[in-house]
Amino acid sequence: MNQVSASLRQISSDPSLSTSQFPLRIGLFSIGLEAYWAQFDGLKDRLDGYVAELEVAMQRPGVELVNLGMIDTPGKGMLAGHQFRQADVDLIFLYVTTYALSSTVLPVVRRANVPVIVLNLAPEPAINYTWFNNLNDRTKMTGEWLAYCSACPVPELASVFQRSNINFYQVTGMLHHDVEAWTEIDEWIDAARVASVMAHNRLGIMGNYYGGMLDIYSNLTLHCATFGGHIEIVEVDQLSAFRQVVTPTEIDDRVVYFLEVFDVQPDCTTEELRRAAQTSVALDRLVNELQLGSLAYYYKGTGNAWNEDTMSSVILGNSMLTARGVPVAGEYEVKNVQAMKIMDSFGVGGSFTEYYALDFTDDVVLMGHDGPGHIAIAEGKTKVRPLYVYHGKVGKGLSVEMSVKQGPVTLLSVVETVDGKIQLLVAEGESVPGPILEIGNTNSRYRFPIGARRFVNDWNSHGPAHHCAVGIGHIGSKLKKLGHLLQIEVIQVC
């Protein structure tokens, strides 16, 4: 992201529970066959050394690693299953160092009952065949071969996992100097971390749906069952009440901060800046009071002056919340705030967006939205402009105008299907330079490898709501891994 994000995160405590009370716990164990150790001198010590190297390489900030070491008998496997379950691990990495019996492995993963990543990692790119064949000691030769034998039991394990209905995935490669294999490991850890964030996230929903947008109506029970977390029903009155106790000094300080974070245009009045600042401070209090990690909102406030004043001045404050890791979606779009939270948890942003127009001349899709944007992934400084009418909505006030940072991007939509399931719909493209609509909204130009026409047709064919989340970078492979961990389908159109 950028310095804006780092600065914004300093203005209040992180409401997320997942990285403090509930850190990601990853289980690690290796497997072998106890009968080998007395037959082949030094083999177990050598394999244990590989596991020690792996443990060091897998250390990550905010991740607790539970390493049970070598499991080489069914009895030890039974004990390890209990230990992993007691440790409350979210994911297990099974490091296959040499041949091992599947009866050793099944008790571990069956009891732990979490997804399993099988690491089939050779210690070197290849055996030195000339050196090996000149050992002139077949016992030593066999011991040497067994140190390279990680691939041997993987089909046996896969068969047993399949027949036991256990979810497992594979990383095949080398322990050292293998970018492809370690990228896969990194992505599994990152996906597990995001799954953990979602499982402990507190999503606030405030107000009501924008009436008539049938595509955005959501099954809240389905979301809790799929992603975990808690959905807190929030009254707009609570935000309005917080707003009434904001002090003039707090308003002054927040206006100064607005001028630092945003490119405030000259036609923004002091009155509107102070109104937005008052609401921004109140939003921070609401988020901290309820420990929210995300928020979806919409409310007209018609007939209630306090609430109308509140809800017509939320855009700057909600943009700041979004940039510091508390994504805020307008129009009460629960599905899309889930998509935004997923993208932001991967560290790539997740700005609220929809189709604006098609540019067939440049073969791009213009996409954006009114309301808050993810200003931490903006191209340059986000402009603040006054709007004298919120199109299709009540009131007037300040709004943000930004484009997503130029370069690779990923779009994500959380889709509810006709058979009552959730899917992730993904597309990778590029944010490209060019003219945008300077109307006080977030908007960008996106180019897709399959072209604008086919992208629109393919994306729409899967039935997403008309909103999606856009983040920087290409993370389709990470989203697929997240889908595997959550046991939901991931569809990538490009």
- Name which of 123-127, 398-402, 471-475 the model is least confident about: 398-402
Among 59-63, 336-340, 388-392, 471-475, the range scoring the smallest mean pLDDT is: 388-392
Length of the chain: 494
Mean pLDDT of 199-222: 95
> Domains (ranges, CATH) in the chain?
3-16+201-492 (3.20.14), 24-197 (3.40.50.10940)
Cβ neighbors of 278 (< 8 A, separation 6 or more) are: 243, 246, 250, 251, 254, 313
pLDDT score, position 305: 82
- The per-residue pLDDT for range 74-94, each reduced to its tens digit, is 999 999 999 999 999 999 999
Mean pLDDT value of segment 2-8: 50
Least confident of 5-9, 34-38, 204-208, 365-369: 5-9
Q: pLDDT tens, 233-244?
A: 999 999 999 999
- Cα distance between residue 3 and residue 67, in whole Å: 36
As a whole number, the mean pLDDT across the chain is: 92
pLDDT of residue 389: 64
**With bands split at pLDDT 50, 70 and 90, how would you rate the model's confidence at 50?**
very high
Q: 24-38, 189-203, 368-382, 446-460: lowest mean pLDDT where?
A: 368-382
pLDDT average, residue stretch 135-156: 93
Q: Which pLDDT value is given to residue 304?
A: 83
- In tens, the pLDDT along 385-433 reads 987 766 555 667 898 888 999 999 999 999 999 999 999 999 999 999 9
Each residue of 49-88: b (16+ CB within 10 Å) or e? ebbeebbeebeeeebebbbbebbbbbebbbbbbebbeeee
Find tokens 């293998």 and name the residue.
178
CA distance 437 to 454: 23
